[in-house]
Chain A
Amino acid sequence: MPGSTELGLAEAKRRLLAREISAKELALAHLDAMEQARDLNAFITETPEMALEMAEAADARLAKGEAGLLEGLPIAIKDLFCTEGVPTSAGSHILDGFTPPYESTVTAKLWAAGAVSLGKTNLDEFAMGSSNMTSHHGPVRNPWTRPEDNAALVPGGSSGGSAAAVAARIALAATGTDTGGSIRQPAAFCGITGIKPTYGRCSRFGIVAFASSLDQAGAFGRSVEDTALLLQAMAGYDPKDSTSADLPVPDWAGSLSGKVKGLKIGIPAEYRVEGMPKAIEELWQAGADWLAAEGAELVEINLPHTKYALPTYYIIAPAEASSNLARYDGMRYGLRVEGENLAETYMKTRAEGFGAEVKRRIMIGTYVLSAGYYDAYYLKAQKVRRRIVDDFEAAFQKVDAILTPTAPSAAFRIGEKMDDPVAMYLNDVFTVPSSLAGLPAISVPAGFSAEGLPLGLQVIGKAWDEQTVLDTALALERAAGFEVLPYGLS
């Protein structure tokens, strides 16, 4: 049925419950959109048969009045979540042929809530990247292009396929994971909403591990309400993840008010970095003005250790990655390249199986954890991390939420910035500090760059206070009125 891919997740839910559309019609429309938009390379594995089966089962439950939270709603899953019987690649050559014999807790919750699987989305290899260019399965195209030309732009990363699929109206919503900005930055680049909840909200069980003290699952949608609804179905305590928090999951979507009256919103001076495009600074100011117009009080705050967040992250994340990725040895799953002996088999398998960025990070991580350097690097980074967390704790004594830009630029061209890893790392300059502090943060599309590309604003909240983050984001969404379709879509 034409037009149903234009609905949001929450609106499609209302129509399904009212029996105005069927889950099967909705699935067919989205599968068609997926086929039409294959040139985006947003999916690594499509699951059309599964989608139709799940949709028919959803229609049966809807008919019986037994609808789950996401009954009959077609969504996409980042290919970092293990899905039983469906290949899971983490965007890497080293997991070639791997089909998990178990289901991640987050996806199990989504299927139990009645969601319909469209497929597994493309990503930077092992979620290491900010452009989706490090995927073994090739780059993803952002559905947005600059108005004046048709040159392919990156969707951001690492959850680039999920963000592109939602922006291109292939999926109503999608899951992502965020280690240093991997949901928020692609959401900003693709003109959609993306939230990373508090560390511990979503179970990490069955998510291919990158940096365990930072990895957190989250949600993409085309509105704050849609994003809240999906996150609600993903979150919750899981005994299989020792860092999962045993807290009830609030009805975030149902409690959304968009009220910011009386809230104190912090504007951190340290996020005014040199060389930030003027459009981003102006949008940041506009966002502050919109919130003030709704009755929020703006408060200048300081987060003095902001500039140390990225270098801290680039010790902690590679160190944890080098340890987590030690399991890919060619013995139990994935690729094996035979050598003369066991050691050589390991070295050849990992040399061929990992891409350049993953190797670079494993080697940095191995070095900073090696004998004689552990204290100077890893321990030092863990101490600076506490300084960064202390900055946020002090700030949240004075404010209820913090407003910043999401990324220091709009989407760039495929191939740009690829030669210098450190320049690439700069993409995450505004998202990494809240990741290190484990705080909930959202990106909302709010305006345009000088080239006419979407820009996002980030709202960071107190631990476990996703509701304030979502309400502040909704106030921004209403004021911004961002309703432009990607130029790439006709």
Chain B
Amino acid sequence: MAQAAVQANLPPGWFTHPLQRPLNQSDRSHMSLDKATVRRISELARIEVPETDLEPLAQELSAILGWIEQLGEVDTADVAPMRSVMPITHPWREDVVDDGNRQDAITRNAPSAHDGYFVVPRVVE
């Protein structure tokens, strides 16, 4: 089989076809998010999601998370997490003000500003 010949030349376990599988065919059903979880994520993310979009979004996010699950195969028992990719030492500097007094420039882009302040909806009732 041509297919088998191609696969024989590949390093074990490296196929891209799981990435190309249609989203509604996730085989990692244990990872699926339900509507309630998606609603909670949308609240945490401060993005309003209409009720009718919750289910399709749950399917999309489940498929992406299902695909991500394969990281579980990698042994990372003694691996320190990588937080900064280049070993850069942060320099010291004098603790002095070197910029500022630009209230007008900063509030100029605000949807609503008054007298050097941002105008926001009432926060405390």
Contacts and interface: CB of A to CB of B under 8 A. Distances in A.
Contacts of A363: 38, 41-42, 45, 47, 57, 61
A156 interface: no
A383 B111 contact: no
Contact of B64 (A312, A331, A422): A422
A332 B91 CA distance: 31
B47 A350 contact: yes
A334 B109 CA distance: 7
Interface in A186-205: 198-200
B120 to A, nearest CB: 5
Interface in B96-119: 102, 105-112, 118
B85 A389 contact: yes
Interface string B14-56: 1111011111000000000100011001111111110000000
Given A341-B122, A425-B19, A331 B44 contact: no
A367 B47 contact: no
B68 A311 contact: yes
A304 to B, nearest CB: 8
Nearest to B45: A366
Nearest to A98: B109
Interface stretch (A103-111, A164-172, A267-275, A291-299): A267-275
B83 A354 contact: no
A312 to B, nearest CB: 7
A335 B88 contact: no
B86 A332 contact: no
A333 B81 contact: no
A315 B71 CA distance: 10
Contacts of B70: 307-308, 311
B10 interface: yes
A308 B74 contact: yes
A211 to B, nearest CB: 12
A360 B61 contact: yes
Contact of A243 (B7, B19, B88): B88
Nearest to A302: B11
B123 A308 contact: no
Contacts of A304: 11
B14 A331 contact: no
A422 B47 contact: no
Given A272-B9, A274-B6, A422-B67, A346 B46 contact: yes
A9 to B, nearest CB: 28
B76 A383 contact: yes
Contact of B86 (A200, A274, A305, A370): A200
A338 B9 contact: no
Contacts of A379: 81
Contact of A408 (B16, B48, B85): B16
B67 to A, nearest CB: 6
B14 to A, nearest CB: 5
A422 B23 contact: yes
Contacts of A367: 33, 37, 41, 61, 65
Given A336-B112, A351-B47, A387-B79, A243 B20 contact: no
A364 interface: yes
A315 B68 contact: yes
A386 B17 contact: no
Contacts of A422: 19-21, 23, 63-64, 67
Contact of B90 (A242, A354, A364): A242
23 contacts: A101-B108, A243-B86, A243-B88, A274-B7, A304-B11, A308-B70, A310-B19, A311-B67, A311-B68, A332-B107, A342-B121, A351-B49, A379-B81, A381-B71, A382-B81, A383-B74, A386-B81, A386-B82, A387-B79, A420-B20, A421-B60, A422-B19, A422-B63
Given A351-B47, A362-B45, 15 more contacts: A101-B106, A199-B86, A200-B88, A274-B6, A274-B15, A305-B74, A307-B70, A311-B67, A322-B45, A326-B46, A331-B110, A342-B122, A354-B47, A360-B57, A420-B20
Interface of B: 6-7, 9-11, 13-17, 19-23, 33, 37-38, 41-49, 57, 60-61, 63-65, 67-68, 70-74, 76, 79-86, 88, 90-91, 93, 102, 105-112, 118, 120-123
Kindly list the 4 A-B residue pairs having the minimum CB-CB distance in the complex, ordered from nearest: A382-B81, A438-B85, A101-B105, A383-B76
